[in-house]
Amino acid sequence: MTDRLNEKVKILLVDDREENLIALEAILSSLDQDLVRARSGEEALKALLTDEYAVILLDVVMPGMDGFETARDIKRRKRTRDVPIIFLTAVNSDPDYAFRGYQAGAVDFISKPFDPWVLRAKVSVFVELHNKNRQLERQAAQLREQAALLRGRLGDEGRAGR
Amino acid sequence: MPRTTALDSRLDRSPRYSDADLEPLLLALTRLRDGDFREHAAAPAAEGAIAAGMRLADQIRERAAHQNHELVRVRKEVSREGRIEERLAQGPGVGSWAASVDATNALLDTLTGQSTAMARVVEAVAAGDLSQKVELRWGGRQLRGELLRMARSVNLMVDQLDEFTSEVTQVAREVGIEGRLGGQASLRGMSGRWRDVTSAVNTMAGRLTAQVRDIAVVTTAVAKGDLTRQVTVEAAGELQELKLTVNTMVDQLSAFADEVTRVAREVGTEGRLGGQANVRGVSGVWKDLTDNVNNMASNLTSQVRGIAGVATAVAKGDLSRKITVDAQGEILELKLTLNTMVDQLSAFADEVTRVAREVGTEGNLGGQAQVRGVSGVWKDLTDNVNFMATNLTYQVRNIAQVTKAVAYGDLSKKITVNAQGEILELKDTVNTMVDTLSAFADEVTRVAREVGTEGNLGGQANVRGVSGVWKDLTENVNNMATNLTGQVRSIAQVATAVAQGDLTRKIDVDAQGEILQLKLTLNTMVDQLSAFADEVTRVAREVGTEGRLGGQAQVRGVSGVWKDLTENVNNMATNLTGQVRNIAQVTTAVAHGDLTRKIDVDARGEILELKTTINTMVDTLSSFASEVTRVAREVGSEGRLGGQAEVAGVSGTWKRLTESVNELASNLTTQVRAIAEVASGVASGDLTREIDVAARGEVAELKDNVNLMVANLRETTRANKEQDWLKTNLARITGLMQGHRDLLQVAQLIVNELTPTVGAQYGALYLAKDAELVLTAGYGLPSGSEGRGRFQVGEGLVGQVAEERRAILVHKVPRGYLRIESGLGAAPPASVIVMPVVFETQLLGVIELATFGGFTDVHLDFFEQFTETMGVTINAIIATTRTAALLEESQRLTRELQERSDELQRQQAELRRSNTELEEKAALLAKQNRAIEIQNFEIEQARRTLEERAEQLAVSSRYKSEFLANMSHELRTPLNSLLVLAKLLSENGEGNLTAKQVEFARTIHDSGTDLLQLINDILDLEKVEAGKMDVHPQPLELSKLVEYVDATFRPLAVDQGLGFDVRINPGTPQMLVADEQRLQQVLRNLLSNAVKFTEDGEVSLVIEEADTSEVASPALQGAEALVAFRISDTGIGISEDKLQLIFEAFQQADGTTSRRYGGTGLGLSISRNIARLLSGEIRVVSRPGEGSTFSLYLPVEFDGQIPEALPPLPPAPQPTSSAPTGIPVLTGLPDDEAPADYTDVVLTGRKVLIVDDDVRNVFALTSVLEGYGMDVLYAEDGQAGIDVLQHNPDVSLVLMDVMMPGLDGYATTAAIREMPQFADLPIVIITAKVMQGDREDSLASGASDYVPKPVDVDHLLGVMRTWLQRTEASE
């Protein structure tokens, strides 16, 4: 548990409107993770160049580079391809948007105004998933290390036996 | 006592016993009846039945006593001792006795079993196991009555307890174990105390959360070492104690920490080992702790001193020492570690020493330490050392550059490298040094210039603010200047004396070193000057006085200016010699008659005068000569006789000479004029004149020659005349011959003309015909007598000539050979000539002429030439004749052809005519086609106009829709945060809002929701109007619809006190094909309107089959079956004139500001539109005050065809995908798929830095490059790029954008190139500019290459590979 406390994961919140970011932070603050704001698609890409994120909450309608474009760029890069993206949009009545969102690689598509509990639950699932993935990675690394160690020992013994 | 009775019956009935006998028995029985089961003293012995009765009574007593005893015992055991498992022991009795005991035991079992079970459950509860339940069956039977109730109560209690505990546990776990403070237990299903308790727990959890958080903050602060914080949260009881304790702890900890810090500082920082912590007022563990710390400090002190010894040794560079002090645990580890460290340090030191030696001593900058097998800080240290070495290298190189520049005298350079600490000081010092040096150099330069260049002796350097060696230096310079001034002045005196010609003076001032040398040199100079003066004097005497030209001064051992001077003297002597010799040459040339020469040697003074005189003489001579020459030319060359030379200003010989020339000229004139006269005669054709003037010599020769010439001229003129004659006649006869075609005529003409021309009197022409010569024409031919008409070749002279083809001339013709007759007489001719007429080699004929006189040479020449001409002519005539025949033949053929051609032409004309007719028809057709085309074009244009209009309409409609969609989006967006935050507030998560505030928040949320609904309505309407609303028809059960309506609206209606009725009339189809969502929406709208506008009465929905006559829409009229949904109310109703209005958007029957009912008036409008989408329609019947009935008609089978629907718009561009701005970032990249993983020999594993402010571009490039396994770093602008580069020296390549804020790409590249370590780093510039000069600019800034935007990925990768391979190769 301390392990998890020490390792806060990062959640990227992308919206062009300050108040939406405040709302998102209000909703997600109880998860006690690092919430990183981005005010545009470009800022989101910049953030992704330097850090690793557990999940991205991406507003669809933004001036300049919209959410679909941003998602497409994110999905195009190998390192960021697997970061789950949840689209947030106020334009819920257009089924085309949801379609485009999923096509752009979203794992979920939530229309505003959203239920805080639902959003929190969804985000926490991805945070958990991310932690599990990290744990898996660590274990895999350990296993690899041990395997290498064992191989080395086997090799030594093989040499000694000879 | 039935048994007793039965016993009695077997006994002897006869009364044998007295009452007294029976007394004990009665007594015993009485006791038994009265419950006295005690044992009494045995009655006097009896016998018989009495005894038996007594025994039985006693046995009864015993059994009763036992039973009683057992009951008493069990009661005592159970009630007093609580041993409920105690049971009655079976007594000696049987039958009912035993049954009674069993029953009692069974009862006890039941009771205790139940209570045991409950007790077990309660025990389990007490033991915290809430999973146990009381069995509701006992002994295979269902419990009943009170027991069942009890068991259920216990179970209920356990359940509630369980729920409660789980809630509380969850909260407790969240709060206590998982640390998720703020958790709250749910109150669901709780009541009574449990609810209170849970609330209390929640309150507790809340308070605890606050307190714990506060304490946590403090403890976190403590944990983070901040001992200034205190717990301030309000608390009571134990928590208050805890708070106080924590605060006390913090205080004590603070004191303790201060003390320990002091000790640690003394021991750790200041190195004062042996220090002891002294914490007052602490007790218990703190005291122990303090003691321990002190103990530890002393232990540590000794161990540390041991370690310090080693460390000191290490510090002093002695890496051979090891720690030997005894230690345990961590210190032992430390010791081992230190020893290991010493070893590693040793290795490290060696390596670092090596690097230091290389870098520091040997000056091999750029060396890197390589310590293998170290990790952690040593690795870091090694890295740091390497980094330091790199930095130092860079800094030292920079300093070296500056100092080198200083060494080369360039004081303008400064050290610019970033440095810190001592290096920074060094840098500052060097820079200061450079400044000082610069000032000093300026000052010294000034003094040197004043003293050295401008000669201002006595100047002093004045350098302010310098000290030490610079001051000394300045003083030395000043001293030097003073000394120099004294010495120079002394030297100047001597030099002045020398200048004034006094060569006797010598310098006697004291001097040393160079000045001494100068002094000696000057003295030597004076000596040499003396010697020089002597030598020059000698040369001057020799040349000047004795005239020995070519003498040279020879001063040995001189150099410099003396050598120059000597050379000058020699030069002068040479010059003089040259001048004199030049003059001599000129005079010699004049003497030899060459007047062109002048003295051209440079000379001055007297020599110049001499030169001028001689040159004047030469000029005079020259002018005389030219005058004479002029006369000679006039007379001799131009023939202007009579000219006289006039030389002015001459006398003597020159005058006489002139007169002689003039005489000569007049003589010549006379002679020449005589010659001229004869020449004039000749010129005018008079060839008879001769020159007879007397002349001599050459003129006589001339005279003879002229005379001879005149004679020759005469002869030539005659010959010319003959030739003239010949040519004239030849031309004339030839001219006559031309134009004739008839051979006979020509032959006659020839004879007629030729004969008189040559003065002949007889002529005959024979033409060759076959092998014969036939007389064809004659002149003066005697009639038949003489001469023959025909000759064979070779026959006679004519034949001979024909054979030989040579003329034969016969002179002195004998008499009778031939006679030439005239009317007056006849005579034989003197000469006859026979000549052949030949063309090329063909003999054409022979001509014979005879004359009295004879043929001159001219005649013969004439004949020769004429026969040739004649040959040509005759041949031509013969050829012409032949040609004429051929021509005639050909003309005949032509005529025939002509006839045929005429026929053909006639036919052709006919064809042409029919062709023309066809063409006319074709033209007519074309014209019609054109007309049709024009019509088509007009139609097309009209169509296009229509399309444009339609498109404009569509566009404007789309704009409207988009505007509304965007507007509603824009409205939603702020609403989102409003709603979310209001929701959060209304939940009152932190519990710090009053009920009123929560109410407010809820109101905000509800209003926001209403607003959202309104916006949704607008959007819906807009979508329907724009044809964007999709309809998904599907089979639909009417009963379900009714259920939905009932569930939704019944509560509303009941709330408002209205009756509500929904029914389906019989005969209505059960199924309907329609869009359920939309249908529900319409019904919702209509029903909510009905409820809204009805005060009392009822609202009903009736679904029934409808007739097509009720509807107006043609599509609906054509439907097979119709369903009507009738919504009736008893509300306010609508007046007739408003019935149409209410279906318009934003309209209500009462639209005034004072209207009674709210709403937007969108519902009906949307409903009508949706109904239309569903192929249906809505009709309304209403009476004000009585109510309204809205009927929705729908076809039973909806085919998806929308009647009267607005035409669907062309798909509008997504509002978000705004027009692409700028340049596409990447081309050649697959659009929807990222590049797969490639491994590239060159690229993989390399580190590349992208400097670009366009993050999308960077992201795209990063995606590609990471696909190739590259490590990508990113910098947003030029300065950041340089920083990144300095921290990552292993970057292999830089991709640089040009256009960046701040430092642009070129400037950044140039700045990177200035750093020596990046001099060879490949930098590729990427720019959107495509100007011609970009490439040059890029390369000029130091970039390695240039890639234009939009970036072609393959090209970029190619460029990167090239450069990476290049650097690889160079490494």
ipTM of the complex model = 0.75
pLDDT of residue A11: 94
Q: How far apart are CA B1175 and CA B1197, in angstroms?
A: 10
CB B1181: neighbour CB atoms within 10 A? 14
A positions 49-108 inside 8 Å of B (CB): 49-50, 60-69, 72-73, 75-79, 81, 90-91, 93-96, 100
Strand duo B772-779 + A10-14: pairing? unpaired
Cα separation values, B1208 from B153, B951, B1034, Å: 69, 12, 22
CB B489: neighbour CB atoms within 10 A? 12
Q: Which amino acid is at B593?
A: G
Residue B1144 C-alpha, separation from nearest chain A C-alpha, in angstroms: 23
Using a CB–CB cutoff of 8 Å, tell me whether B1260 touches chain A. Answer: yes
User: Which has the closest alpha carbon to B660: B671, B648, B640, B645?
Assistant: B645
Residue pair B535/B566 in contact by the 8 Å Cβ criterion: yes
- Residue in B977, B1217, B1255 closest to A20 by CB: B977
pLDDT of residue B11: 60
Q: Which residues, in sequence order, are CB contacts of B1151 under 8 Å at separation 6+?
A: B1161
Residue pair B569/B539 in contact by the 8 Å Cβ criterion: yes
* Residues of chain A by 3-state class (helix, strand, coil), percent to 5: 60, 15, 25
CA angle B1102, B1103, B1105 (to 5 degrees): 130
User: Which has the closest alpha carbon to B683: B705, B719, B721, B710?
Assistant: B710
Using a CB–CB cutoff of 8 Å, tell me whether A20 touches chain B. Answer: yes
**Regarding predicted confidence, which is higher, A39 or B1017?**
A39
pLDDT above 80 (res B535):
no
pLDDT of residue B1154: 41
- Residue in A17, A91, A116 closest to B980 by CB: A116
Q: How far apart are CA B603 and CA B610, in angstroms?
A: 9
CB B263: neighbour CB atoms within 10 A? 23
Q: Which helix (H) or strand (E) holds A37?
A: strand A34-38
**Regarding predicted confidence, which is higher, A110 or B305?**
A110
Note the pLDDT tens digit of each residue in B1073-1119: 888 888 888 888 888 888 888 888 889 999 988 887 878 777 777 77
Which of the four pLDDT bands, split at 50, 70 and 90, describes residue B1206? very low
Average pLDDT, chain B: 76
Going by the DSSP 8-state scheme, the letter that residue B717 receives in this structure is: H
Lowest mean pLDDT among A11-15, B797-801, B821-825: B821-825
Q: In chain B, pLDDT over 70 holds for what percent of residues?
A: 77
Residue B353 C-alpha, separation from nearest chain A C-alpha, in angstroms: 34
Q: How far apart are CA B271 and CA B315, in angstroms?
A: 15
Q: Which residues of A touch B1266 (CB under 8 A)?
A: 77-79
Q: Which residues of B touch A42 (CB under 8 A)?
A: 1255-1256
Going by the DSSP 8-state scheme, the letter that residue B1142 receives in this structure is: G
Instruction: State residue B1127 phi and psi, 5-degree precision.
Output: -110, 115
Closest CA in chain A for residue B1237:
A78
pLDDT of residue B490: 74
Tokens at B1331, concatenated: 């100007």
Q: Which residue has the tokens 């024409």?
A: B777
Residue pair B794/B803 in contact by the 8 Å Cβ criterion: yes
Q: How far apart are CA B1023 and CA A94, in angstroms?
A: 10
**Regarding predicted confidence, which is higher, B482 or B1213?**
B482
Residue A159 C-alpha, separation from nearest chain B C-alpha, in angstroms: 23
Closest CA in chain B for residue A4:
B178
Q: Which residues, in sequence order, are CB contacts of B972 under 8 Å at separation 6+?
A: A90, A91, A112, A113, B1012, B1015
Going by the DSSP 8-state scheme, the letter that residue A12 receives in this structure is: E
User: Which has the closest alpha carbon to B1133: B1189, B1188, B1190, B1058?
Assistant: B1188
Q: How far apart are CA B294 and CA B1350, in angstroms?
A: 72
pLDDT of residue A53: 92
Q: How far apart are CA A118 and CA A108, in angstroms?
A: 12
Where do the H-state alpha helices sit in B408-468? 421-448
The string over B98-127, giving b where at least 16 C-beta atoms fall within 10 Å of a residue's C-beta and e elsewhere, is: eebbeebbeebbeebbbeebbeebbeebee
Report the DSSP beta bridge partners of residue B851.
B831
Closest CA in chain B for residue A105:
B1232
pLDDT of residue A54: 92
pLDDT of residue A4: 45
Report for A120-134, B49-63, B391-405, B590-604: range of highest mean pLDDT: A120-134
Instruction: State residue B267 phi and psi, 5-degree precision.
Output: -75, -50
Tokens at B1361, concatenated: 């590979």
Note the pLDDT tens digit of each residue in B520-529: 777 777 777 7
> What is residue B1061's three-state secondary structure?
strand
Q: What is the pLDDT along chain A (162 residues), one digit of tens a residue?
A: 444 445 789 999 999 888 888 888 888 988 889 999 999 999 999 999 888 899 999 988 888 888 888 898 898 888 888 899 998 877 555 667 777 778 777 888 888 777 888 889 999 999 999 999 888 988 999 999 988 888 888 877 767 655
The string over B67-76, giving b where at least 16 C-beta atoms fall within 10 Å of a residue's C-beta and e elsewhere, is: beebeeebee
Which of the four pLDDT bands, split at 50, 70 and 90, describes residue B470? low
Closest CA in chain A for residue B983:
A116
- From the number of C-beta atoms within 10 Å of its C-beta (0-12, 13-18, 19+), residue B464 rates as exposed
Which of the four pLDDT bands, split at 50, 70 and 90, describes residue B152? confident
pLDDT of residue B940: 86
pLDDT above 70 (res B43):
no
pLDDT of residue B374: 63
CA angle B568, B573, B578 (to 5 degrees): 115
**Regarding predicted confidence, which is higher, B630 or B1158?**
B630
pLDDT of residue B959: 78
Q: Which residues, in sequence order, are CB contacts of B1052 under 8 Å at separation 6+?
A: B1088, B1091
pLDDT of residue B37: 77
Q: How far apart are CA B691 and CA B677, in angstroms?
A: 8
Is-cis flag, bond preceding B1069, omega within 30? Answer: no
Note the pLDDT tens digit of each residue in B505-523: 777 777 666 667 777 777 7
Q: Which residues, in sequence order, are CB contacts of B906 under 8 Å at separation 6+?
A: none
Residue B1236 C-alpha, separation from nearest chain A C-alpha, in angstroms: 9
pTM for this one?
A: 0.31
Residue pair B1324/B1336 in contact by the 8 Å Cβ criterion: no
Tokens at B1228, concatenated: 């050649």
B positions 948-987 inside 8 Å of A (CB): 965, 969, 972-977, 979-981, 983-984
pLDDT of residue B800: 82
Going by the DSSP 8-state scheme, the letter that residue B561 receives in this structure is: H
Going by the DSSP 8-state scheme, the letter that residue B58 receives in this structure is: H
Residue pair B75/B58 in contact by the 8 Å Cβ criterion: no
Instruction: Write the DSSP string, B807-863.
Output: -EEE-SPPTTS--EE-SS-EE--SEEEEEEEEETTEEEEEEEEEESS---HHHHHHH
* Residues of chain B by 3-state class (helix, strand, coil), percent to 5: 60, 10, 30
Instruction: State residue B1096 phi and psi, 5-degree precision.
Output: -145, 170
Note the pLDDT tens digit of each residue in B605-617: 777 777 787 777 7
pLDDT above 70 (res B45):
no
- Residue in A26, A73, A94 closest to B1260 by CB: A73
For residue B536, the Cα-to-chain-centroid distance in whole angstroms is 84
pLDDT above 80 (res B299):
no
- Residue in B965, B981, B1218 closest to A26 by CB: B981
Please report the number of interchain residue pairs, chain A to chain B, with beta-carbon separation below 8 angstroms: 108
pLDDT of residue A47: 92
Q: Which residue has the tokens 């001193």?
A: B305
- Residue in A42, A49, A64 closest to B1262 by CB: A49
Residue pair B789/B772 in contact by the 8 Å Cβ criterion: no
Where do the H-state alpha helices sit in B127-236? 145-172, 192-223
Number of H helices, E strands in chain A: 6, 5
Q: Which residues, in sequence order, are CB contacts of B907 under 8 Å at separation 6+?
A: none
Alpha-carbon torsion, ordered B312, B315, B320, B321, to 10 deg: 20
Q: Which residues, in sequence order, are CB contacts of B1352 under 8 Å at separation 6+?
A: B1227, B1228
Instruction: State residue B700 phi and psi, 5-degree precision.
Output: -60, -45
Neighbouring C-alpha atoms within 13 Å toward the C-beta of B1277? 6
Q: How far apart are CA B765 and CA B767, in angstroms?
A: 6
Instruction: State residue B1094 phi and psi, 5-degree precision.
Output: -115, 125
Where do the H-state alpha helices sit in B265-328? 284-315
pLDDT of residue B557: 66
pLDDT above 70 (res B543):
no
Note the pLDDT tens digit of each residue in B361-402: 666 666 676 766 666 656 666 777 777 677 777 777 777 777
